[in-house]
Amino acid sequence: MNKSLQYLLIAILLLFSLQGITQNETPKKDTVVQLYGVVMSADSLRGLEATSVIVEGTGRGTITNDDGVFSIAVLKGDKIRFSSVGFKDKTVIIPLNLKSNQYSVIQLLVNDTAYLPATILRPRPSRAQFERDFVNTQVPADALEIARKNNDAATRKALMMSMPADGTEAVSANFRQQAAKTYYAGQVPPQNIFNPAAWAEFIQAWKRGDFKRKSSSD
């Protein structure tokens, strides 16, 4: 027999054998199974309400009723995870060789004990130290005190000077500048240094003390 023919037969036999192994190892999960049952605590056999019954990898699930009873449609080979607050999670797998389209379980969940770090409470050494710490404790200002400070005239003035102009103010200022340039187009704009009214207003402001430097107490 020709060697090429032998190699071809061997390749065909290997192909059929691998196909059979693959079919045996990964059967199709095309059968819908109605999964139902009850979830109870392992110590007292009490029905656990609001227990999450999640089909992993699918985003589907349900919760148990007041008696711990549940029912959900799944597929063969699905992993079902039972989760409840205060209990350890439990996962079951729907058998692939299940002959019926119904599968019932009685799932017991074990209490999950959480150990918190130890906290030691000690009294203060003396009354004098308690009074000292109580007096020196910084109490944060409440909302009313914060509002009172923000409404202070000096605070509002400082905030007004530090805040940039918003869109409306910037557009209005730009329009005023363009209007002034257009109004005095082709001529020299008037200078207030030669305006007697402006000088009179400056002198009155000087007499009123508008240009005096305010003391730090003000």
Beta-bridge mates of residue 118: none
User: DSSP for 7-44?
Assistant: HHHHHHHHHHHHHHHHHHHS-----EEEEEEEEEETTT
The CATH label, of 2.60.40.1120, 2.60.40.1180, 3.40.470.10, 3.30.390.30, for the domain at 32-109 is 2.60.40.1120
List helix spans (H) across 84-162.
127-136, 143-150, 153-162
The pTM of this model reads: 0.43
Beta-bridge mates of residue 34: 73, 102
List the domain boundaries for the chain: 32-109, 147-208
For residue 45, which phi and psi values (nearest 5 degrees)? 55, 40
Cα 199 off chain centre by = 63
| pLDDT digit string (tens) for the chain, length 218 residues | 555 555 555 666 555 555 554 444 444 445 899 999 999 999 888 999 999 999 999 889 999 999 999 999 999 999 999 999 999 999 999 999 888 889 999 999 999 887 888 888 877 678 888 888 888 887 677 877 887 887 888 888 887 778 777 778 888 888 888 888 888 777 777 776 767 777 888 888 888 777 766 544 44
